[in-house]
Amino acid sequence: MISVTDLRSGTKVQMDGGLWQCVEYQHQKIGRGGAKVVAKFRNLETGVTVEKSFNSGEKLQDIYVETKDLQYLYSEGDELVLMDLETYEQFHVPRAITDAAKFLKEGMTVVGEMYQGRPLSITPPFTVELKIIDTPPGVRGDTVSGGTKPATLETGAVVQVPLFVNPGETIKVDTRTGEYISRA
């Protein structure tokens, strides 16, 4: 159990029958009355965000989240199939578990936050190398400082790339922002 005054961004707790992560918090001291903590929480299973207000003496049940290396195997409809690299156990998780699902390649290793043997979230590597499948041709004379054009990658994601990049080339992409970094 932790006190609500110990809440910080990223703290994971169990309340209202679900698992929640504190997104932001604010400690409010009002004149004569007692202090309050107003916190915004994101549900780790559904992604719903709620704001809650607590009196300073209240307690919440904190949870222990384990970090493990998982391998992305394949996509099955709206689910991703992941495998624990230690036990070879497979998990089906919703695609919405991560914003970077569109950059995952089969066989890629990701970091998963596990609670009671099931993944709550996955984090892919910060940069990935992906091959360009389709992009409009660049015009002769285009340079690095020129504009950008859309490029479809081997995973189906579309990113903006410089005009000099051609189909068949491999590029580095930042999975946190979805931006082109450089040629590979």
The domains located in the chain, with CATH, are 2-62 (2.30.30.30), 66-123 (2.40.50.140), 127-183 (2.40.50.140)
Give the mean pLDDT of 145-167.
86
- Write the secondary structure of the chain as one string of H (helix), E (strand) and C (coil): CEEHHHCCCCCEEEECCEEEEEEEEEEEECCCCCEEEEEEEEECCCCCEEEEEEECCCEEEECCCEEEEEEEEEEECCEEEEEECCCCCEEEEEHHHCCCHHHCCCCCEEEEEEECCEEEEEECCCEEEEEEEECCCCCCCCCCCCCEEEEEECCCCEEEEECCCCCCCEEEEECCCCEEEEEC
pLDDT digits (tens, 9 = 90+) for 31-58: 777 888 899 998 887 778 899 999 888 8
pLDDT of residue 139: 66
